[in-house]
Amino acid sequence: MGNPVDGEPVRVEVGLGDRAYDILIGSGLAGRAGLEIAARMPGVRAAIVTDENVAAAHLDAFSSGLASAGITSTPIILAPGERTKSFECLQEVVNAVLSARLERRDIVVALGGGVVGDLAGFASGIVRRGMRFVQVPTSLLAQVDSSVGGKTGINTGQGKNLVGLFHQPQLVLADTDVLDTLPEREFRAGYAEVTKYGLIDRPAFFEWLEANWREVFAGGPARTRAIAESCRAKAEMVARDEFETGDRALLNLGHTFGHALEAAVGYDGARLVHGEGVAIGMALAHRFSARLNQCSPDDAARVERHLSTVGLPTRMADIPGGLPDAERLLSYIAQDKKVTRGALTFILTHGVGQSFIAKDVPASEVLSFLRENHPG
């Protein structure tokens, strides 16, 4: 892991041939977005999809920056929260883009967290059979995960992200300064996804995080380094397996359990936000691996200890309010995208940084494990 150069953004390329794009990570990038976009896509007009919270903090300055680079823009402001990833809001964004008379060569800009990025990316992929789009993620979770790789989508009553498509951005601008406006809970939730990259196949990165997480939370070079390493890890996976037919599925570590828990609380962000679901899911995945004699209980305890130390939940009992019974949780897992013809697929581990894809996991084992870990 290299240290960032002072004042210069770190550049990570997502290598997809003639569809390759840059991720830029550093200070002040939101203010320079117009210049970066105009240099790559001269003459475009933009729709800026954002939410009410981000709009209040950043929209005026962002729009002005685009205008100074000659880019006219139309704002599309949505309600914050996971429930915005819906058919209704998708239709709202599509109608607004069409009403602005934007053409296929124009761009949709996602200015916000993962919800905005997923929704705006999906809309840009279907309007006029595919418009270009740019990700300007404003949460740590979006900067290290959802803004990179082209996965877009919305939620339904049956589960999370079950409707969507792969649609790669033209550019990702991860401004580390905007993270200073995040509530602490949201930053912690994003840190769960940072931790994930160490737990998948970068044990040295996980060890570095154990030693340096306070500096990552404080900001400065350590934060930039953690974001860049996370983006580098994801970019390598995406370049090898763009459509998740192989080892890109490892990026779902913790997500099968986590998505089920999000669905179980009705995507109520007051009770559980995505990164918290992932944190509990990763702890569960390691405990489940230990139960199946795939990893040491000491490794599972180490993972849980680090997540707890930074203030993340690690057990279902940490979710406020009641949960559906284990059978209902299993039904949410069975609806997840990682299921193939009814066979349960999980990302399990042989130890820290040694994750693997486990297919045909017996439902009976999962149900028994859920019952053992259920707070009721």
pTM above 0.85, yes or no: yes
255 is known as an active-site residue: yes
In this chain, the answer to whether the domains covering 10-181 and 253-373 adopt an identical fold is no
Taking each continuous run of H as one helix and of E as one strand, the counts in the chain are: 14, 11
Q: Is 129 a catalytic site residue? A: yes
Q: Cα–Cα distance between 148 and 137 in angstroms, integer?
A: 10
Architecture of domain 253-373: Up-down Bundle (1.20)
Choose the catalytic residue: 167, 202, 274, 306.
274
Rounded-to-integer distance, Cα 25 and Cα 290, Å: 36
What count of other Cβ atoms lies within 10 Å of the Cβ of residue 33?
25
Residue of 236, 246, 329, 244 lying closest to 280 (CA atoms): 329
Decide if 274 is catalytic.
yes
Of 58, 85, 132, 151, the active-site residue reads 151
Q: Is 252 one of the catalytic residues?
A: yes
Tell me whether residue 350 is one of the annotated catalytic residues. no
Catalytic residue among 160, 167, 248, 286: 248
C-alpha pair distances (Å), 115 with each of 91, 142, 191, 335:
15, 9, 17, 20
Give strand pairing partners of 346: 358
Tell me which residue of 176, 198, 188 sits closest to 280, measured CA to CA.
Answer: 188
Residues 6+ apart with CB under 8 A from 199: 206, 253, 282, 286, 303, 349, 352, 353, 355
**What's the number of CA atoms in the CB half-sphere (13 Å) around residue 310?**
32
pLDDT of residue 337: 59
Measured CA to CA, the distance from residue 244 to residue 276 in angstroms comes to 23
CB 294 within 8 A of CB 262: no
Q: Which of the following is catalytic: 85, 196, 202, 234?
A: 234
C-alpha 176/C-alpha 238 separation (Å) is 23
Alpha carbon of 166 to those of 151, 161, 174, 337: distances in Å?
5, 12, 20, 14
Per-residue pLDDT of the chain (376 residues; tens, 9 = 90+): 555 555 789 999 999 999 999 999 999 999 999 999 999 999 999 999 999 999 999 999 999 999 999 999 999 999 999 999 999 999 999 999 999 999 999 999 999 999 999 999 999 999 999 999 999 999 999 999 999 999 999 999 888 899 999 999 999 999 999 999 999 999 999 999 999 999 999 999 999 999 999 999 999 999 999 999 999 999 999 999 999 999 999 999 999 999 999 999 998 999 999 999 999 999 999 999 999 999 999 999 999 999 999 999 999 999 999 999 999 999 999 887 556 666 799 999 999 999 999 998 999 999 999 999 999 8
- Among 259, 286, 287, 338, which one carries the catalytic annotation? 259
Task: Choose, from 88, 101, 129, 184, the residue flagged as catalytic.
Answer: 129
Query: What are the extents of the domains in the chain?
Result: 10-181, 253-373
CA-closest candidate to residue 320, choices 255, 264, 254: 264
Tell me if residue 32 is catalytic.
no
Q: Which of 167, 225, 255, 338 is catalytic?
A: 255
Element (H, E) at 276: helix 274-291
Tell me, what's the pLDDT at 343? Answer: 76
Q: Name the catalytic one among 53, 155, 161, 252.
A: 252
Q: Which fold has domain 10-181?
A: Rossmann fold (3.40.50)
